[in-house]
Amino acid sequence: MGRQKYSLMHKQERGFSFVETLVALAVITTLLSFVVPIYLTGKSFTNGRMLENQARMLAQSQIEKQLSDLKISKSTRLIKPFQIEEEVTHVQSLWNIQVKIKWKNTHGQTRSIKLEVYRFQNVDSPT
């Protein structure tokens, strides 16, 4: 009886068997094969939205700048990673300000946002 007890203790102290180790690795690999693509997709989506929000804020700030100093103009410039196209036109008493921001997303595709504002201003009133 003493011998059985010793052999059971000895068996329990051996650790994982080869089959248990393979099953554990298979489970971990399967879980990682689902988790890693979800993580990478989420990260890419978050980076893309972050660039889009930056572009929108940049476009809004450019419109506010153009509204503060209404002058007919057309320009294109680069503030990495964004390309900014601005156009201010005036017809009779109506000002039109267009700002288009272009950038490349994390997949290399060109994205853009265009904001446009109209401002009515009488000829008699100051800017």
Is the pLDDT at 3 greater than 70? The verdict is no
Residues 22, 105: Cα–Cα separation, whole Å:
41
Q: Average pLDDT over the chain, rounded to whole?
A: 85
Residue 119 — φ and ψ, nearest 5°?
-135, 125
Strand partners, 49: none
> Using DSSP, how many helices (H) and how many strands (E) does the chain show?
2, 4
- Identify the domain containing residue 62 by its residue range: 2-120
If residue 7 lies in a helix (H) or strand (E), which one and from where to where? helix 2-12
Residue listed under structure tokens 């904001």: 115
Answer yes or no: is 126 within a domain. no
Amino acid identity of residue 39, one-letter, is Y
**DSSP readout, 101-127?**
EEEE-TTS-EEEEEEEEEEE--SSS--
Lowest mean pLDDT among 4-8, 58-62, 87-91, 113-117: 4-8
How many independent structural domains does the chain possess?
A: 1
Quick one: tokens of 6? 């010793």
Distance CA(82)–CA(114), nearest Å, equals: 13
In a domain, 127, yes or no: no
* pLDDT tens-digit readout, 6-24: 555 555 566 888 999 999 9
Mean pLDDT value across residues 54-83:
91
What letter does residue 77 receive in the DSSP assignment?
E
* pLDDT tens, residue by residue, 20-64: 999 999 999 999 999 999 998 888 888 888 999 999 999 999 999
Residue 125 falls within a domain, yes or no?
Answer: no
| Percent of the chain's residues with pLDDT above 90 | 53
